Amino acid sequence: MSTSKIGLSFSDSDDLDREVNDTSYIGDVSSDQSCLMGVSFGDYLGSSLPVAGGVGFCATDSSTVESIVNSSQMLSTSDSSLSKLAYSMCSGYGFDAYFCQTYVSDYSFFHEHAVECGYELSKDFSLKINDHKIGFSDAVSSFLEDDKFFSRTGRSLFSYDKNHNKSITIYVCCFDLDCSYFYESVRRYRPKVIKILVRDFIPRIIKTISRGMVIDSSGSRSMTYHEMEMLFLNFVTKLEMLIVKIMMSYWHSHLDDIESVLSLLSSSDCGFAADHTNPFCRLRNCNKIREETINDVAHPVAFVDVYGVTISLIAKHKIDVFSEGFIHDFCNSLKVILHDKIMKISNHSSYDYDNDFKVFSDVELPLLIEESFNKAIVSLQCDLSNFLRQLAVWAPPGVDGSFREVDFSKFIENIKSAIYSLLKVKVCSISDSFINIYTNKINNFLSRMKSKVSTYMIDRWGVNLHHKFDYNYSSIRKKFSPMCKSIVNKKFREMILGGFSASEWKYVSSKLLPIAMKLVSGIYKNEYDELKELVSNTHVVKRDGTFVKLDETYKTVLCVKIMSRINKEFRDFVRLCWIDVVNSTNIPTPLPDSAGSSSCPESAKGDHCYSSEGVGSQVVNVESHPVCEGGDVQLNELGNLFESFMDRLVSDGNYSVMRSIEELMGSSSCSSLEILPDQSVSGRVFSSDKRSFSGPCLDEYSTDSYKKKKK
């Protein structure tokens, strides 16, 4: 069962191609199993009529109306008067028009309907409606002509030949054969024409009516839904009758061709009745078709069966709009949640990341969809309940003649079920696309890591971690870095515009570092907490290629190393932020005075050397962090160069040189400003220097033991 659109998702032959706010198509009827009164729309247009020679068909004009009234009535649980009014709008639908010959006039009939309803159509609205009518008439005429509807080659009687000795009985039989041939032609071609109406014109008609403006005593206004539905039912039923008019024109043309024969038959004593102008009534009188077959027309073309309830196509369109709008909003709101969850799996999974993604798709995602749907569907259910009170429903009576009640609660549940099925497919598709993106990123990263030396991870982290750890570490850092940069840049820009001196970094660093630390210390703490969570799930690679989780001792050592790396990178981060802001603010850089201090304005000087606005409520209490108490932080630029050089050497695996530089940095470093404080774990103090770790010896996966074994 297709679930491409709500409401028309009950038939495999339906093919909707319509967006929420642009009704390009209601349905594409493409089934080859359609019959005279039906296209495979779940009894959308009823079932087929029997072939000629079956049971009687027609009745008099008055009895025809009675038969339809007795066969199909309308019922609305909220207001039955709406359904009765809709029934009057659809009077003459189906094959009734072939008997009554109630044709639609060439005059713009919809104006008459508008006047009866107390309004007028705007000029633009009227032109568009009339264009639909003319366009449909031309399309039907062209189709019937091109497809040789009621072709001459299939007729038995052409013209009367006085020199041909035929009996009157033969002429009568030939005429009846032509009536049967015309009936069969209608039976064969009418479903095809209905397809053209439903597929190519009704969507545009709904679009026009939904956007149309009317004029009444209060001026120009949009139509109410009730007015839209009544105009739609009236208009589409008239177009349905227009099919009859065009088809019957072929019969009238045939009668003109055999006028001499008809004159001969009428003047004879053969009992040739006057019903020859209507082949359907002729067949009925000859007992070629049965009257009960008229009841096979389940409902007018303007209606459609949706989950057992027959509603108008414009009502179905409105329900589709509600449903698709809900699905669109639901998927957009869930997209952010999906991305965050999948990104977290990507950033925290180990070597078995493919399995983690699969567990999310198979277990967590269905639960997330169901839980979110149950919370969000309440609003849609309320909108649908209110809307259904306005609908006219076409409902036949039961066996005992009483009218059945429409179970709207079941109807709503069916719509909810269809919506859930559709959005589940869409959400899963969104999830799969995110998973594919992150899987490709991981695979590409790991592919590049294959070119690294075998000791890369040991040299970099002190333990032979799986290469996926480097991806995770980098991704988490990149996740928080833009947030910190945005906050620091904004504050620095405010300070400069407020009078703070845009001096070179070496003259203002001692003031800026504490300010920056106060601003982003909370974000750095969150970042470090996430990195600690990453470490808790990290695996090391044994020499035999198997994976084992880090024990608690190594987790602590790795956390300390990460903390050290963050603290070392913080100063350079703030420096780059300052340079970026100074370059983008376009304020002349002041030169230092003879004493080497920056030329800050007097109003900007003080403990923090920035505008009187200060850090204000944006800063975080930093007393818990080890800020240098001497005031200015003396930065050793040579030390910074050594530090950057050390990081590059670590990446290249030059372990011995890295250790020598670490010792040099430790002995020559000045007072440091650390965004993350040292930690005390299990009674042991771990500083940012790995050498201060006093605990059990590192095992075979550590830096020291690995180097010894290598020797």
SS (H, E, C) 412-466: HHHHHHHHHHHHHHHHHHHHHHHHHHHHHHHHHHHHHHCCCCCCHHHHHHCECEC
**pLDDT confidence band for 688 (50 / 70 / 90):** very low
Which residues, in sequence order, are bridge partners of residue 547? 541
Tokens representing 312 are: 């108008």
Supply the pLDDT for residue 591.
52
Give the mean pLDDT of the chain. Answer: 73
Instruction: Give the rounded percent of residues in the chain with a pLDDT score beyond 70.
Output: 62
**pLDDT confidence band for 636 (50 / 70 / 90):** very low
**pLDDT confidence band for 545 (50 / 70 / 90):** confident
Which residues, in sequence order, are bridge partners of residue 394? 74, 310
Whether pLDDT at 619 is above 60: no
Q: CA 481 → CA 486, 594, 621, distances in Å? A: 9, 38, 21
Q: Mind listing the pLDDT tens digit for each residue in 554-564? A: 888 889 889 88
Q: Mind listing the pLDDT tens digit for each residue in 202-218? A: 999 999 999 999 999 89
Q: Mind listing the pLDDT tens digit for each residue in 368-387? A: 999 999 999 988 888 888 88
Nearest alpha carbon to residue 647 among 665, 626, 635: 665
Instruction: Give mean pLDDT, residues 334-354.
Output: 92
Q: Where are the alpha helices (DSSP H) in 215-308?
A: 225-257, 259-267, 279-285
Nearest alpha carbon to residue 582 among 496, 486, 513, 483: 496
In terms of average pLDDT, the best of 60-64, 290-294, 619-623 is 290-294
Q: What is the pTM of this model?
A: 0.65
Supply the pLDDT for residue 269.
64
Give the C-alpha separation, 567 to 572, whole Å: 10
**pLDDT confidence band for 400 (50 / 70 / 90):** low
**pLDDT confidence band for 187 (50 / 70 / 90):** confident
Nearest alpha carbon to residue 299 among 96, 101, 95, 93: 93
Supply the pLDDT for residue 105.
60
Give the C-alpha separation, 463 to 539, whole Å: 10
- The identity of residue 589, as a single letter, is T
Place of tokens 């079956």: 54
Q: Mind listing the pLDDT tens digit for each residue in 487-532? A: 999 999 999 998 898 889 999 999 999 999 999 999 999 999 999 9
Q: Mind listing the pLDDT tens digit for each residue in 87-121? A: 667 766 766 666 665 556 655 677 788 888 899 99
Supply the pLDDT for residue 366.
96
Residue 426's Cβ-side half-sphere holds a number of Cα atoms within 13 Å equal to 21
Q: Where are the alpha helices (DSSP H) in 274-312?
A: 279-285
Supply the pLDDT for residue 454.
77
Supply the pLDDT for residue 511.
92
Give the C-alpha separation, 661 to 162, whole Å: 124
Supply the pLDDT for residue 655.
44
**pLDDT confidence band for 638 (50 / 70 / 90):** very low
Dump the DSSP string for 542-568. -TTS-EEEPPHHHHHHHHHHHHHHHHH
Query: Cα 184 vs. chain centroid, distance in angstroms?
Result: 45
Q: Mind listing the pLDDT tens digit for each residue in 624-634? A: 333 333 333 33
Lowest mean pLDDT segment, chosen from 295-309, 334-348, 615-629, 669-683: 615-629
Q: Mind listing the pLDDT tens digit for each residue in 444-476? A: 998 888 888 778 888 888 888 888 999 999 999
Nearest alpha carbon to residue 214 among 124, 314, 89, 107: 124
Give the C-alpha separation, 439 to 353, whole Å: 8
Supply the pLDDT for residue 296.
67
Give the C-alpha separation, 94 to 236, whole Å: 12
Lowest mean pLDDT segment, chosen from 33-47, 220-234, 294-308, 423-437: 33-47
Whether pLDDT at 227 is above 60: yes
Instruction: Give the rounded percent of residues in the chain with a pLDDT score beyond 90.
Output: 32
SS (H, E, C) 482-510: HHHHHHHHHHHHHHHHCCCCCCCHHHHHH
**pLDDT confidence band for 144 (50 / 70 / 90):** very high
Place of tokens 């008019």: 245
Supply the pLDDT for residue 147.
75
The helix or strand, by DSSP H or E, that contains position 540, with its residue range, turns out to be: strand 539-541
Whether pLDDT at 136 is above 90: yes
Q: CA 114 → CA 102, 216, 227, 354, 640, distances in Å? A: 20, 10, 9, 64, 83
Residue 199 DSSP label:
I
Q: Are 206 and 26 in contact, with CB atoms under 8 Å apart?
A: yes
Q: Are 195 and 39 in contact, with CB atoms under 8 Å apart?
A: yes
Nearest alpha carbon to residue 384 among 311, 322, 296: 322
Q: Are 506 and 582 in contact, with CB atoms under 8 Å apart?
A: no
Supply the pLDDT for residue 542.
83
Supply the pLDDT for residue 29.
30
